[in-house]
């Protein structure tokens, strides 16, 4: 199963531990992560500034979503433009999409209001994220197989 993972790079220092747990959980389930932006960005610690590099990033994201079986989006309150853009693109392409929102940011997450056929919205806390994500991945596998 090929998975595209989308999350905000705005506060990467703060979000990196959660993103790592999500990616580890996906890999434990045999998923292949379609995009590798996260570790590269975490290592650099700064976002690229050149327009040329951003064009490549946007293009890679479009290809990653197109090629993925499942799209996982971490869309908690502080998520930015790119995450929203990618989620809409995944839904347009009718990808099975799991939207993860932190329990603590439920009230200020635009994403919490989205309702679409191919979208599963999952509220999580740090301690149960792996359990919730595992359950959702199993459901996706059953839906895709039937």
Partner 1 sequence: MKVLFAAASTSYARNMEVYERIKKQIQALGHEVYFDGQDATAVESTGSVRSLDDDDWKVLCDREVGAAQECDAAIFDVSDKATFGVGFMASICVSKGTPTLFLLRDDTVGGSFVSGLQRACLQRKSFNTANVAGKVRKFLEGVRV
When asked if residue 85 is in the footprint of partner 1 (CB under 8 A), the reply is: yes
Site for partner 1 contains 86 (CB under 8 A): yes
The alpha carbon of residue 1 and the mean position of all alpha carbons in its chain are separated, in whole angstroms, by 15
* 115 contributes a contact to partner 1 by CB under 8 A: yes
- The closest alpha carbon to 124, from 132, 115, 136, 112, belongs to 132
Strand partners, 3: 33, 70
Q: Of 14, 44, 55, 143, which lies in the binding site for partner 1, with binding defined by CB under 8 A?
A: 55
Stretch of residues binding partner 1 (CB under 8 A), selected from 25-33, 37-45, 53-61, 135-143: 53-61
Q: Which of 71, 60, 78 is nearest to 12 (CA)?
A: 78
Q: Which two tokens stand for residue 5?
A: 């993972």
Tokens of 62: 């479009």
> Is residue 2 at the binding interface for partner 1, with CB under 8 A as the rule?
no
Only one of the segments 15-23, 32-40, 87-95, 129-137 lies at the binding site for partner 1 (rule: CB under 8 A); that segment is 87-95
- The CA–CA distances, whole Å, from 73 to 39, 52, 53, 117, 136 equal 16, 25, 22, 16, 13
- Residue 6 in tokens: 């989308």
Q: Does 109 bind partner 1 (CB under 8 A)?
A: yes
Instruction: Decide: is 66 part of the binding site for partner 1 (CB under 8 A).
Output: no
Quick one: 56 or 144, whose CB is closer to partner 1?
56
18 binds partner 1 (CB under 8 A): no
Residues binding partner 1 (CB under 8 A): 10, 47-51, 53-59, 75, 77, 79-89, 92, 106-115
């Amino acid at each position: 199963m090929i998975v595209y993972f989308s999350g905000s790079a705005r506060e990467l220092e703060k979000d990196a531990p959660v993103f790592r747990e999500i990616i580890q959980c996906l890999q434990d389930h045999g998923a292949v992560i379609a995009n590798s932006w996260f570790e590269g960005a975490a290592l650099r610690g700064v976002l690229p500034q050149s327009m040329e590099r951003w064009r490549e990033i946007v293009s890679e994201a479009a290809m990653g979503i197109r090629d993925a079986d499942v799209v996982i989006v971490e869309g908690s309150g502080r998520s930015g433009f790119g995450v929203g853009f990618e989620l809409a693109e995944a839904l347009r392409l009718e990808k099975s999409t799991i939207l993860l929102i932190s329990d603590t940011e439920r009230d200020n997450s635009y994403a919490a209001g989205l309702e679409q056929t191919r979208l599963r919205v999952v509220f999580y806390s740090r301690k149960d994220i792996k359990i919730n994500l595992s359950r959702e991945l199993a459901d996706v596998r059953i839906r895709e197989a039937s």
